[in-house]
Amino acid sequence: MKERVTLTLGSELLGEVDRRVDGLKIKNRSHAVELLLMQALGNHMPKTALILAGGRGVRLQPITHELPKPLLPLHDKPLLQHILDLFRKYGIKNIVLSVGYKGDKIKETFGNGKRLGMSISYVEEDKPLGTAGPLRLARQFLTQAFIACNADELKDIDLADMYMTHKENGATATVALTTVEDPSAYGVARLQGNRILEFVEKPKKEKAPSNLINAGLYMMEPEILDYIPEGFAMLEKDVFPRLAAQGKLFGYPFSGQWFDTGTLERYERAIKEWKDLE
């Protein structure tokens, strides 16, 4: 939530502020002041990340008959721990896990996060809530800008740069976008500059609007919760189209590692090619 304040500044200082306004990345004087204060205070990152860890992992059966997908082993530690490593690298230590299928096993493995130097809280999906429903469930934790991400993808993203881009754009949501050779199995972004106009779901390769796909990690403002209907809801179908229509949805293309582990074939590739974060 933002509050209106009144500032009295010298004309020379105000001129410095106004010179940063370009009408595109920095939209107005108020936006410029906000960004300058963020930089001065070292507030370059959200404090909280929500990880969607409630899926059944049907495409990874029979392995997931025994283990929930976030606990699949990869390089001698659970898949989910690699995601936590990314957040810890950027000083994000308040984690909310949305759990459902075999959630007790996830809780037993990670507990309150203390052994990782983190604070982990849980929300429980009594029934599947999709990719958007858990955000409403975790509303009490999401009172400031936050990160949301899927638990079944490995990512190496410059989160600090992504967050500054998110703020510069004045976005309600910013979607991390990765490049794939064949985007036909994914949601593909159609962009105007860095503004997302729409996602085209699973297009034929030759008809895809780009090779940039949703990488399953998002920077979000709390106002996004007002766009999510009650119960089962999907970011991709129920939320992002509305934000895109209002010019509030942006993309952040990145070139770091990204692996989808949602099938046995992709999981095997990730085991072979993923390079652990330092």
Q: Which residues are marked as active site?
A: 202
Q: Measured on CA atoms in the order 247, 173, 184, 100, is the torsion positive or negative?
A: negative
Give how far Cα 65 sits from Cα of 52, 122, 126, 167, Å. Answer: 19, 22, 19, 42
What are the DSSP calls for the chain, one per residue?
----------HHHHHHHHTT--SSSS-SHHHHHHHHHHHHHT--S-SEEEEEE----GGGTTGGGTS-GGG-EETTEEHHHHHHHHHHHTT--EEEEEE-TTHHHHHHHHTTSGGGT-EEEEEE-SS--TTTHHHHHTGGG-SS-EEEEESSEEE---HHHHHHHHHHHT-SEEEEEEE-S-GGGSEEEEEETTEEEEEEES--GGG-S-SEEEEEEEEE-GGGGGGPPSSS--IIIIIHHHHHHTT-EEEEE--S-EEE-SSHHHHHHHHHH-----
For 145, residues 6+ apart whose C-beta sits below 8 A from its C-beta are 46, 163, 166, 167, 219, 220, 221, 222
Q: Is the peptide bond before 62 cis (omega within 30 degrees of 0)?
A: yes
